[in-house]
Structure 1
């Protein structure tokens, strides 16, 4: 079947993004001219500027390709077992990060100098906090103070985010059950078990 012009346009744009992702990860955003991106993508330089008028637009488009962190808690939660539920969540987040290691590498690398990347990673962190909070509440329906749940969600999200930020230095990150992360999960589950909100006196 003959390819349409739309197919060709999509293919060229995709090749440009793949080339930009690879080159930004290799040499950094600022050190990569659009001419190198065009060469690697096998397209004229003018086509890069057609799709992405500014080089910054390439970085913005790559941010949008980050995998979605939103996970349905119903598929992860082990009722009454908070530690196992959190391990499952961390393993799922790890799997998604491992599926986009190159992209994650370059975005963590560029976050200090590009506000669009920094904003995207901050929003990503907030979504992970929300995910952890949802799993805690679904896994353990007992009464816990909201402030304690929020603190625990923030702590685990920080641990996950830090591990993902340095994952480029490892062949692959674990599945949520490696030593340091296992200790984080066990600590948080144990701490929450000990800080249940006091029962309200009967009226």
Structure 2
């Protein structure tokens, strides 16, 4: 019986998280109520605090899931050769196809608020992203192609900033060709 109860709990939490992700991406955290989440998820409003404590606990759970999703996407190191560019493009464009970008950008605004409970988790997401690109840029083949005075830390910050910025532009105006933008970024950085 315990296994069945645990499975139902997990399924209920997934329904609540999925609804919260959609609503936070559509409306933002501040404009979403637990009633909205309950209606979207089909779960009673009273069970949301039981699973997540309060709305802030739900927000933290959504950001933790977002961070875990990013970590899974970054499990495969970027190869130094031409395949690396393709992997960067796939990684950066996956979030647009899955809707993660809108959620990320909406919650990024929340993370910037003074005293935000998701400031530290977002700082960790950014650090993981920079670490991922730094590891790529530290490979001898890539490092040798970097312009003078530009190091792996610079590349990591440039790629994370550019990817977030290009994705933001795409969310606002989806005519932007992200694939071309990512490829151009890599060529600018890696070709002299």
**Under a length normalisation based on structure 2, what TM-score does the superposition of the two structures give?**
0.76
- 1:182 Cα offset (Å): 2.4
Change (3 A) 1:121 1:142: closer
Unaligned runs of 5+ in 2: none
Unaligned runs of 5+ in 1: 79-83, 192-203
Question: What is the match of residue 4 of structure 2?
Answer: 4
Question: What is the match of residue 109 of structure 1?
Answer: 106
- 1:37 Cα offset (Å): 1.2
Change (3 A) 1:130 1:89: farther
Change (3 A) 1:173 1:55: farther
Q: Using the TM superposition, name which of 126-135 and 34-43 deviates more.
A: 126-135
CA deviation map 1:69-121 (0-9, x unaligned): 42433x6332xxxxx354134223224423542x4312311323343444333
Question: What is the match of residue 70 of structure 1?
Answer: 74
Change (3 A) 1:85 1:172: farther
Question: What is the match of residue 92 of structure 1?
Answer: 90
Change (3 A) 1:131 1:107: closer
Aligned residues of 1:98 and 1:172 also touching (Cα < 8 A): no
- 1:142 Cα offset (Å): 6.6
Question: Alignment partner of 1:111: what SS?
Answer: helix
Question: What is the match of residue 18 of structure 2?
Answer: 18
Give the alignment of 1:148-163 within 5 angstroms: 148-163=151-166
The answer on 1:41 being equivalent to 2:41 is yes
Aligned residues of 2:169 and 2:176 also touching (Cα < 8 A): no
Question: Alignment partner of 1:44: what SS?
Answer: coil
Aligned residues of 1:86 and 1:136 also touching (Cα < 8 A): no
Matched pairs, number: 180
Specify which structure has the higher proportion of helix: 2
Change (3 A) 1:28 1:156: closer
Question: What is the match of residue 136 of structure 2?
Answer: 135
